[in-house]
Amino acid sequence: SYTWFWNLIQNDFKTGNIDLEGCMRLLEKMQVSFDEEHLKHVFKKTIDKHSGQIISMDDFRAIYRALVHRPEFEELFKAYSTDGKILPDGQLLKFLVKEQFQTEANETTALEIIMKYEPIDEVRKKRQMSFEGFIRYMNSDECSIFKSQHRTIYQDMNQPLCDYFISSSHNTYLIADQLMGPSHLWGYTSALLKGCRCLEIDCWDGTNNEPIVYHGHTLTSKIPFRSVIHVIDKYAFMSSAYPLVLSLENHCSPKQQEVMAECLKTILGDKLLSSPIGGEVDMTRLPSPEALKFKVLVKNKKAGTLEESMLRMEDDYRGETEELSDSDFQSEDEDTDDTLPLQRSRTPTKRKGDRRSSPPPQKKPKVKKAKIAIALSDLVVYTKSQKFVSFDHSLEHQKCYENNSIGESQARKLARYSGCVEFSANFEYLSCRFLLHPLKICQVHSYNNHQFWKINLQEIALNFQTPGTQMELQDGKFLDNGGCGYVLKPEFLRDRNTTFTPQNVGGYSKPMSLSIRV
């Protein structure tokens, strides 16, 4: 093993010792995966023992062992090795069956692994595996706990959009602190490359009639709306072919809304979905991700109906606006601790809530007015932002293309009341028909994403720039189905007649005991 290692690295040390860059290149040549920050830490500890910024061959061997020779691998290897140095094919087979639970493995399986992962020629020719080969096998995708067949798109992508959990981002333009940090185009690039399928664009009036994007009423920096759309145009479908939703948190004047509409149309071109698929409005169900492949959807407030928008398609409506009242829309940043509204109300009069639909009491609603440019309104097709009023109202009046945005505090109440069978049944039924998005989760809280996935919310919008448990759960969930950003819900969460509630799983549960050794 030592001779093999020496022969492999000696050419890189012919001209003398190497620095950090040379160390990285050599590790890459040896096909050793490493975390750059961890390597820098190990490298610094090594050079601190002597002056200078370069290392010898012996130093490199110590760094290599620190990165690669994990003690738990060594323990496993010695448990099956006859002499602590070599693993014959028969012993490797025993390891595969007993430790990896590959009950169908045979001598051919063991030999194939040796031929693929053993780097030392003389060991490989003897149908044996050294510790170096064992390490390479253990670090390979073959030993990943993640199912390799799920790394590709394997789910049915022809169901309505509301039948999928969708990878969603909140404050996508921020790359650090939410109050004083920089807004940056990299926020959008990074989220898109991770397979995110719903981006938030916080739009405000800028100078020279050019809308800007930033976190309103904070000290975060500003970036042009036009530049954001250019980045989205470039990276929208690089990691996933399935539809991308642009959730506009729109604070712009009608004049600058028209500039936004023009940017979306001219920059995105054919990618922008501006009319229903096939030119016909299906009021009964949303289209599927497959039908919307390579399309960008605009989520925003909308004036009138989809049919009215289609009648206006050939006309020039620049300069025309329509006023929407509080009942017609919900501001994307509305996330107070007010209880869920139960009754539709256009005036600030008190009405008693119908407690049969949901437990929380009624509070006096605030009346808001907003003007929307018809040019921007008409770009909204399947993702009209609609305020959640009550279950009864949604089930009676809501169109499939009208999406409810639910704030984090409201969502917590929904999760809390999900044990109530009637409440949960209403909510499950609602989310089987409509898109409920985007829920904004602030990662400083202890709540985890599963609380909201289990009550059937399709989109949980997270701060992608903030590491932590929530993003780890998000990354893990959306690795599934090829990392395309859409994960099909379990069948019982797609069934309108389901009796499932998180507290009453009934026959939907198949309990499992999972033991993990770290």
Cα Rg, the chain, nearest whole Å: 28
Question: What separation in angstroms does the CA of 413 have from each of 149, 151, 228, 406, 418?
Answer: 37, 35, 34, 11, 8
Q: Provide the H-helix boundaries in 250-336.
A: 254-268, 306-311
Taking the mean position of all CA atoms in its chain, how far away is CA 100?
A: 30
Peptide bond into 438 cis (omega under 30): yes
Active site residue 184: no
Name the residue among 274, 249, 251, 279 with its Cα closest to residue 261: 274
Tokens 């199912």 found at: 147
- Could you give the angle at the alpha carbon of 270 between the alpha carbons of 266 and 276, nearest 5°? 115
Rounded Cα–Cα distance for residues 428 and 501 (Å): 8
96 and 110 Cβ atoms separated by less than 8 Å: yes
Element (H, E) at 128: strand 128-130
Element (H, E) at 86: strand 86-88
86 and 77 Cβ atoms separated by less than 8 Å: no
Residue 333 CB burial class (10 angstroms; 0-12, 13-18, ≥19): middle
- Residue in 41, 69, 170, 251 annotated catalytic: 170
Pairing of strands 402-404, 439-441: unpaired
For residue 250, give the 3-state DSSP assignment. strand
* Number of residues written out for the chain: 518
> Residue 298: beta bridge partners?
246
Q: How many other C-beta atoms lie within 10 A of the C-beta of residue 16?
A: 8
Element (H, E) at 189: helix 186-193
| Exposure class string for 37-74: b at 16+ Cβ within 10 A, else e | eebeebbeebeeeeeeeebeeebbebbbebbbeeeebe
Token readout for 66 is: 């620190």
Q: How many other C-beta atoms lie within 10 A of the C-beta of residue 20?
A: 16
- Residue in 41, 69, 184, 215 annotated catalytic: 215
DSSP 8-state code for residue 436: B
DSSP 8-state code for residue 194: T
Name the residue among 236, 232, 171, 167 with its Cα closest to residue 475: 167
Q: Is 392 left (phi over 0), alpha (psi -120 to 50) or beta?
A: alpha
Rounded Cα–Cα distance for residues 69 and 88 (Å): 20
Active site residue 38: no
- What DSSP assignment string belongs to 258-277? HHHHHHHHHHHGGGB--S-G
For the annotated catalytic residues, the residue numbers are 170, 215
